[in-house]
Amino acid sequence: MSDVRLPRDVRLVHAWPAPGSWAFIRKSDKVAGPTAWVGCPECGQAANLSDHAIDALGRVTPSLDCPTGDCTWHVHVTLDGWAQALVEKVGT
């Protein structure tokens, strides 16, 4: 399993992330705190990280796999720009 660093997708607020990137979610129906969506770089499916932990450096645990049954993407992920996203006043 490889280690992958994903860039933040800041194109639009309330947008699905582009494949191979992530989008910040300040809060969701499932969690009170911040989380993220990740766009699978292989198939483009978006995965919500509300059931994962994200540390201050953006490291996601446990490892992340694509939510579709047909895709084999499974990696250790670091979200580049996570610390900055936490202090910004933008995001959903």
Give how far Cα 87 sits from Cα of 24, 46, 91, Å.
Answer: 11, 24, 11
> Per-residue pLDDT tens for 10-41?
876 556 889 999 998 877 676 677 889 999 99
Contact 66, 34 (CB under 8 A): no
Question: In the prediction, which pLDDT does 16 show?
Answer: 80
In percent, how much of the chain has pLDDT > 70? 88
**Residue 14: what pLDDT?**
59
Q: Beta-carbon neighbour count of residue 57 at 10 Å?
A: 10
User: Bigger pLDDT: 21 or 90?
Assistant: 21
Report pTM. 0.85
What's the CA gap between 1 and 63, in Å, rounded?
9
* Contact (CB, 8 A) for 75 and 63: yes
CA 37 to CA 20: how far, in whole Å? 11
